[in-house]
Amino acid sequence: MTFQLAGNGPRIYEEVMVPLWFGRWAETLVDRVDLRPAQRVLDVACGTGVTTRLARAKVGPTGTVDGLDINAPMIAKARELAGDLDIGWIESDVCDSGLPSGSVDVILSQHGYHYFPDKARALAEFSRLLVPGGRLAFSIWDGHSRYTKALCAAVEHHISPEVACKQRAQRETPSAADLAEQVYAQGFSDVVVHRQELMIDVPSAPEFVPLHLASMPIAGAFLALPDDRKQALIDEVGASLADYAHNDRLIYPDAVHVVIAHR
């Protein structure tokens, strides 16, 4: 499974999904890790770099931060957004960073772990990169939210079961116990899995659903629909979430698991 965006996807992702979703989860992840000045940090599957930029601010001028992602358009957007910030950008597979062994104090990954094609190999690479006592911290969805269930059902009805399956897979995640077992199996210690819940506040379905789908890997399938079928899909999501509609906003709970472990 991969999460690859092209065309306008990275721009829409940064302008829409980061402020409404991923920026908030990035803040909770960085706060949980409690980064310190002078630490060396690697942000894996960095996307457009929201977590990377937050880490850069935490470690100060004596620290170092690199962002790694396999998706060239995302790295390009991250580099553009970082401006003059002293951040290294690495376009690479998660298992082949090219960095020296024992060169990193903290490895972060916000919503990246789920998409690693070989999780055991990725964890082994993290262990190689971390100094003894170094920390790994990653977040991953705790299954589907009420919104994503409604969205995927509408995608199935109005696009296809195959496209809906692709969208659903983004939230079909391991349990907390399975996550801990996977990390322990690669030699990490003191593995703790925290569940974090936020109330998500996004625009109403007519505004948010098209923007959300345009920032997803299934964007092409949605955009190819005739206008009446696009509208029918959006209307179905809105009707399913009527209980969560407040003053032209959708407000609903969502949750992640944050895994923290030591090398």
- pLDDT > 70? residue 9: no
- pLDDT > 50? residue 2: no
70 DSSP assignment: S
Q: Which residue do the tokens 């979703």 mark?
A: 21
Tell me what pLDDT residue 17 has: 73
Mean pLDDT of the chain: 93
Domain boundaries of the chain, sorted by first residue: 9-144+172-202+251-262
- pLDDT > 80? residue 93: yes
- pLDDT > 50? residue 5: no
The Cα–Cα gap between 92 and 98 comes to 8
pLDDT per residue over 63-92, tens digit each?
A: 999 999 999 988 998 999 999 999 999 999
> Is the whole model's pTM more than 0.95, yes or no?
no
Tell me what pLDDT residue 12 has: 74
CA–CA distances in Å: residue 9 to residues 63, 89, 128, 209: 31, 19, 33, 14
- pLDDT > 70? residue 6: no
pLDDT per residue over 237-248, tens digit each?
A: 999 999 999 999
The Cα–Cα gap between 187 and 54 comes to 28
Tell me what pLDDT residue 53 has: 96
pLDDT per residue over 186-238, tens digit each?
A: 999 999 999 999 999 999 999 999 989 988 889 999 999 999 999 999 999 99
Tell me what pLDDT residue 10 has: 65
Tell me what pLDDT residue 8 has: 57
Q: How confident is the model at residue 13 (pLDDT cuts 50, 70, 90)?
A: confident
Is there a contact between 235 and 225 (Cβ–Cβ < 8 Å)?
no
Percentage of the chain beyond pLDDT 70 is 96
The Cα–Cα gap between 20 and 232 comes to 24
- State which CATH number among 3.40.50.150, 3.10.290.10, 3.90.15.10, 3.30.300.30 fits the domain covering 9-144+172-202+251-262: 3.40.50.150
How far is residue 241 CA from its own chain's centroid? Answer: 23
Q: How confident is the model at residue 21 (pLDDT cuts 50, 70, 90)?
A: confident
